Structure 1
Amino acid sequence: MPNFSMPFGAELLDDGGGVRFRLWAPDVQALRLQLEGAGRGRLLPMHALDEGWHEITVQEAGAGTRYRFMLPDGMSVPDPASRFNPEDVHGPSEVVDPGGYRWNDSGWRGRPWHEAVLYELHVGTFTEAGTYAAAMARLPELVALGITAVELMPLADFPGTRGWGYDGVLPFAPDARYGRPEELKRFVDEAHRLGLMVFLDVVYNHFGPEGNYLHAYCKAFFNAAHQTPWGAAINFDGAHSGNVRQFFIANALYWIEEYHFDGLRLDAVHAIADDSPTHIAVDIARALRAGPGRFRPVHVVLENDANAARLLARGEDGTPGGAVAQWNDDFHHAAHVLATGQRDGYYADYAADPVNTLGRCLAEGFAYQGDPSPFREGEPRGEPSAQLPSPAFVSFLQNHDQIGNRAFGERLSDLAPAARLDALYACLLLSPHVPMLFMGEELAATAPFLYFCDFGPELAAAVSKGRREEFGRFDAFQSEAARAGIPDPNAEATFTVCRPNWAEREIEPHSRRLALIQHLLELRRQWITPRLAGMAAGGKHRVEGGLLQVVWWLGEGATLRLAANFGEAPQPRPPLAGHIVFELHAEDAQLLPDGVIVSVEGVDV
């Protein structure tokens, strides 16, 4: 695959032609390029071009050259399209040779979406070292577990030495805390050698609050007509939005072409303000399909609280017109209510009949398909989704948000009975949805996953105060003393405590959970995955006395059936046709509480 040609930022020219530097800065008349390192302090006037572009080619610059752009008022800013910022977001950018890493994955042709079993991880806490290299060493364990795709939480350069990544400000620069760009490429290379896809979580709905200098020279990057929780929205639909849209389309292409990622997860698409005829998420998906997607499968996955099924629509041949799938928060919320009995906040929308709601999610994807949401004071939420194939939904029992948004970052295994979780894992991993696990979940890790960051002093104090005030609306945190016990996001200890203790896999009850997850994923690989490609739509469900039954029609004429007893009393064992793939707490005549039976019909045994 050829190296990605960057329309923004610094681009190495062929045949030793130096480096072309470009910046879109329509709010300033003149810019200077500030070269650092061997040429520290050297300032070169840039050429002002049409429509606010500034450009200069420097013959003697090359890979490793560090640079900034100097504004007329003397402020020096990093390149918003920097490929690498080794001294963090306020420091100089570094020219990177995209061809400097020698890839070994020329035989990699990707994997079809229906084979995905996702594993979400945060590079900084996945291992003690918190680097790409250390994470790479653990990849064989994920393969042995049955994982087929790793999803990295955002890598775009963020301020400080620790953070979730959702406050990134340099979308093209993988954060230096985890290693150099070449080490990230080596991680992807090794994953491909092992047969793993690699996805990257990207944030196109806002920039972080520290280190974003675009307001100083490019106000057109934002559109004040749309206000978001982070201020004026990124300008995807106003005047001069063409350059902004191209910036993010280029970013998506860059990660796929230059780093060989297999797909992207677009964060909080519901928070992207875009009234254009074609939503930016669809434009990105189409650009990837028309570009690197011609040579191997490339997948776009959404997070979208609005449940906009139209962004997942399939054509007559079953090919997605936009994204291939969406994170299914509805599944999580219904399962969480069933697992824990918690009904506050948004869980109130799932409290009335959680078994039926879970069944609707399993069969049709979304629970809210235009239905009124009590949590939103009756406002309709979502669009019909039953027409979509089940792999259009990424379902999970845990993820970074659903753990980390809790005051103490407790995992579900700390909140729910093991028997109930076993049943829910069977429903998740043996359904036709694409399943996702969060790092450490496979062994019921005891380490929490808290919200952590490393902002400058003034912002750090505001974030810590806001974090504690956020929980003040909950009964358990009404007192100031209770709120004071919430871990400080900026404390280093809040970060380090989030590292899973992988030695737990050798002891009970962690080893038992690990064995169950591995067994369920092996059954999925054997019985379900090969028959998902031909699936055209969702399934059907019914509930009687706490007994949930779901049926799906897979490809190749196969039928998948699931029965799960979420009631308090035994239920008569349902007569499931076909080959019994899995049984949990099932007897000859009864299905006990938290019992599950899964069968496949129409296949050779």
Structure 2
Amino acid sequence: MLHFPRSWGAEPLGDGRWLFGIWAPSVAEVAVRVGGSDTPLQRQPDGFWRGEAAGEPGAEYGFVLDGSVRPDPAARAQAGDVHGPSLLLDPRGFRWDQPWAGRSWEEAVIYELHIGTFTEEGTFAAAARRLRDLAKLGITAIELLPVGQFTGRHGWGYDGVLPYAPHRNYGSPDDLKALIAAAQDHGIMVLLDVVYNHFGPDGAYLHAYAPEFFDTQRHTPWGAGIDYSGPPVRAFFIENALYWLTEYRLDGLRLDATDQIEDPSEPELLVELAQRVRAADLGRPIHLTTEDNRNITRLHEPEAELYTAEWNDDYHHAIHCLLTGEDEAYYAPYAADPMADLCLALECGYVEQGQPRPGTEKLRGESSAHLPWPSFINFNQNHDQTGNRALGERLTALAEDAPLQVAHALLLCAPFTPLLFMGEEEGSRAPFLFFADFHGDLAEALRKGRAKEFAGFKGFAERAPDPLDPATRDASRPFAESGSARAAEWRELTARLLALRAGGIVPLLKSGRAGDPVVTRMGERALRAEWPFVAGRLIVTARFGPDAGMEADVMEADVPLRAPDLGFETEECGFAVWVEV
């Protein structure tokens, strides 16, 4: 019976009565239509329109603006697509059978998944049926790509226009809650990717309700920027965060592209949102994470108690360039010496920390070596870095398995927070392509925009699959090779690595940092890293390929005189990890 009362939208009062609220400061008349009956709302001094009306849960409703009916931008559910009526939904109707105390961030092994392609059915219910296998493997958190309702049947979710309503094609709100309850019953945390930096191009009726919601003088890659300085606008997003965390009992949120949330207020939206979440005291650890291209640290300083962790693209770029040799577009600065960049990421978190970088004149970032290691979310693959390629190739399709498995082991054994992209646990080579379900002029604009994006990558634009073809979505399901000997080998390696992480590395992380790391480059393609903790030391050695310039055998150099806790080696590649307590 979890309920978060909001200032936006429809709130149950009991006995079949509802309180409706919508911010429309420039509209002359507003009513709410429930089941065909209109009730005028009263204008408030702050530009909100409010009033009560009767209705049964499941009834269709919408707001009438100067004679035109529009869906509720804060609807908990829709009757159909983003243009149609909303549904009255009382969140107190769902029963959470088991209590949930959450998990600490040091235990997090994140598994990013897209509901629409994670299973053949593409539903919340189908995803719930796969959770037992993830828990047995050692996954402790799943992160869902955005589920707020968007145009069409399928898409990534980043073009959402109704951020309070789970996408209808995935299932009902109760289906999503059942998925979360099932995950937590298996000991798995659930994080949700939320988009507070823009709305999608179709069905964003906030433009009609309140043009004041937007800053027409500031433009983003997705159109007019949002004016975060107004209290109703801030409430829309802060309430959204608290709504998901309260009514859906989520363990945390991933805030998409926070570098695009420009707000001159004091405190800025990002700070106030985190402060409000921390003040809510939901009875379990809440983990807020960010994706921020600026490489800043102020939101993640431990004393600030704001955000738990940051997606670390720098780590990905170094690994990607090291294993593939790619040097085009944004990979260019990392291609100059990817091993040096990888060593820097293992030592400091960010690679770009405000220093000059090859191939770019723009300085980015600031010193990050002082931040706790788990505050960096590292990954070898994710939806962005795979799906934003014209052909959607995973790293597993671009490099050989031997160095890939070294990179896999390094990711899962380093003291940073690891993130796996669905299928990565078994070495999936299926692409993850960009896809959407737009029509007409919007579809054509999308095709042209995607072609322009790949102008910096030779030959890719001409070969890119049509993002509007359902076959593009179907090709993005990750488990085509499940059941093969290769998939079984990858899964066995993943299970071994995660068992070691849970039993040996997590206790070190929980004990706290006890000094600075020592990361030594052992040659062109080899390294040794040591991280000191209160409870002991974590040491890894990694060799990514043949290395004529290697100073010593990286598998033997200056390590304790005992067998590694886990290790493997081929003729050219090798990995070993020691946990000393």
TMscore range, shorter length: over 0.9
Cα deviation 1:168-191 (Å, max 9, x = unaligned): 011111111100001100101111
**Would the aligned equivalents of 2:22 and 2:50 in 1 still touch at CA under 8 Å?**
yes
Cα deviation 1:301-357 (Å, max 9, x = unaligned): 101111111111012xxxx52110001100000000111111111111111221121
1:306 aligns with 2:301: no
**Would the aligned equivalents of 1:390 and 1:538 in 2 still touch at CA under 8 Å?**
no
Equivalent residue for 1:185, pick from 156, 167, 177 = 177
The whole-number CA distance in structure 2 between the counterparts of 1:374 and 1:389 is 28
CA gap 1:379/1:485 in 2 versus in 1, 3 angstroms: closer
The whole-number CA distance in structure 2 between the counterparts of 1:277 and 1:381 is 24
C-alpha RMSD of the superposition: 1.7
Equivalent residue for 1:53, pick from 45, 48, 66 = 48
1:18 aligns with 2:17: yes
How big is the shift at 1:2?
4.5
CA gap 1:578/1:204 in 2 versus in 1, 3 angstroms: farther
Structure 2 residue runs without a partner (length 5+): none
CA gap 1:286/1:540 in 2 versus in 1, 3 angstroms: farther
The whole-number CA distance in structure 1 between the counterparts of 2:430 and 2:468 is 18
Equivalent residue for 2:84, pick from 75, 88, 91 = 91
The whole-number CA distance in structure 2 between the counterparts of 1:578 and 1:226 is 60
The whole-number CA distance in structure 1 between the counterparts of 2:486 and 2:316 is 23
Cα deviation 1:433-459 (Å, max 9, x = unaligned): 110100111112232110000123210
**Would the aligned equivalents of 1:364 and 1:540 in 2 still touch at CA under 8 Å?**
no
- The one-letter code matched in structure 1 to 2:379 is F
What is aligned with 1:582?
566
- The one-letter code matched in structure 2 to 1:562 is V
How big is the shift at 1:253?
0.4
- The one-letter code matched in structure 2 to 1:550 is A
1:364 aligns with 2:377: no
Equivalent residue for 1:403, pick from 382, 386, 411 = 386
The whole-number CA distance in structure 2 between the counterparts of 1:275 and 1:433 is 32
How big is the shift at 1:75?
2.5
What is aligned with 1:589?
none
Indicate the percent of aligned positions where both proteins have the same amino acid: 45
How big is the shift at 1:413?
0.8
What is aligned with 1:70?
64
How big is the shift at 1:505?
2.9
- The one-letter code matched in structure 2 to 1:290 is A
**Would the aligned equivalents of 1:420 and 1:594 in 2 still touch at CA under 8 Å?**
yes
How big is the shift at 1:500?
2.2
The whole-number CA distance in structure 2 between the counterparts of 1:43 and 1:13 is 18
The whole-number CA distance in structure 2 between the counterparts of 1:169 and 1:87 is 14
Equivalent residue for 2:308, pick from 324, 330, 352 = 324
What is aligned with 2:325?
341
1:297 aligns with 2:285: yes
What is aligned with 1:213?
205
The whole-number CA distance in structure 2 between the counterparts of 1:445 and 1:585 is 22
How big is the shift at 1:373?
4.1
Equivalent residue for 1:288, pick from 277, 282, 287 = 277
The whole-number CA distance in structure 1 between the counterparts of 2:431 and 2:578 is 35
The whole-number CA distance in structure 1 between the counterparts of 2:312 and 2:573 is 23
**Would the aligned equivalents of 2:195 and 2:255 in 1 still touch at CA under 8 Å?**
yes
Cα deviation 1:183-231 (Å, max 9, x = unaligned): 1001011111110000000001101111101111211211234321122
Alignment of 1:350-499 (within 5 A): 350-374=334-358, 377-477=360-460, 483-499=461-477
Cα deviation 1:508-554 (Å, max 9, x = unaligned): 32221121111111111111012212324762312132331211112
**Would the aligned equivalents of 1:363 and 1:386 in 2 still touch at CA under 8 Å?**
yes
The whole-number CA distance in structure 2 between the counterparts of 1:538 and 1:76 is 60
CA gap 1:530/1:512 in 2 versus in 1, 3 angstroms: same
How big is the shift at 1:374?
4.2
1:134 aligns with 2:126: yes
**Would the aligned equivalents of 1:363 and 1:390 in 2 still touch at CA under 8 Å?**
no
Alignment of 1:553-564 (within 5 A): 553-556=532-535, 558-564=536-542
When normalised by structure 2's length, the TM-score is 0.95
The whole-number CA distance in structure 2 between the counterparts of 1:543 and 1:264 is 36
What is aligned with 2:529?
550
Q: Secondary structure at the match of 1:129?
A: coil
**Would the aligned equivalents of 1:83 and 1:94 in 2 still touch at CA under 8 Å?**
yes
How big is the shift at 1:382?
0.7
Q: Secondary structure at the match of 1:13?
A: strand
What is aligned with 1:201?
193
Runs ≥4 residues deviating over 6 A: none
**Would the aligned equivalents of 1:163 and 1:452 in 2 still touch at CA under 8 Å?**
yes
**Would the aligned equivalents of 2:16 and 2:56 in 1 still touch at CA under 8 Å?**
no
Q: How many equivalent pairs are there?
A: 573
- The range that moved more, 333-342 or 348-357, is 348-357
How big is the shift at 1:17?
5.3
Structure 1 residue runs without a partner (length 5+): 478-482, 587-591
The whole-number CA distance in structure 2 between the counterparts of 1:543 and 1:288 is 42
How big is the shift at 1:80?
0.8
How big is the shift at 1:578?
7.0
Cα deviation 1:556-604 (Å, max 9, x = unaligned): 2x11111222452464221212762222228xxxxx6422221122x2x
What is aligned with 1:258?
247
What is aligned with 1:600?
579
Alignment of 1:562-573 (within 5 A): 562-566=540-544, 568-569=547-548, 571-572=552-553, 573=556
Q: Secondary structure at the match of 1:309?
A: coil
**Would the aligned equivalents of 2:60 and 2:79 in 1 still touch at CA under 8 Å?**
no
**Would the aligned equivalents of 1:222 and 1:232 in 2 still touch at CA under 8 Å?**
yes
**Would the aligned equivalents of 1:326 and 1:393 in 2 still touch at CA under 8 Å?**
yes
The whole-number CA distance in structure 2 between the counterparts of 1:459 and 1:598 is 51
Equivalent residue for 1:122, pick from 84, 89, 114 = 114
- The range that moved more, 213-222 or 399-408, is 213-222
Cα deviation 1:78-123 (Å, max 9, x = unaligned): 11110001311101111111111111132x1000011000000000
What is aligned with 1:501?
479
- The one-letter code matched in structure 2 to 1:95 is L
How big is the shift at 1:507?
1.2
Q: Secondary structure at the match of 2:6?
A: coil
- The range that moved more, 306-315 or 259-268, is 306-315
- The range that moved more, 42-51 or 324-333, is 42-51
**Would the aligned equivalents of 2:2 and 2:91 in 1 still touch at CA under 8 Å?**
no
Equivalent residue for 1:276, pick from 265, 270, 273 = 265
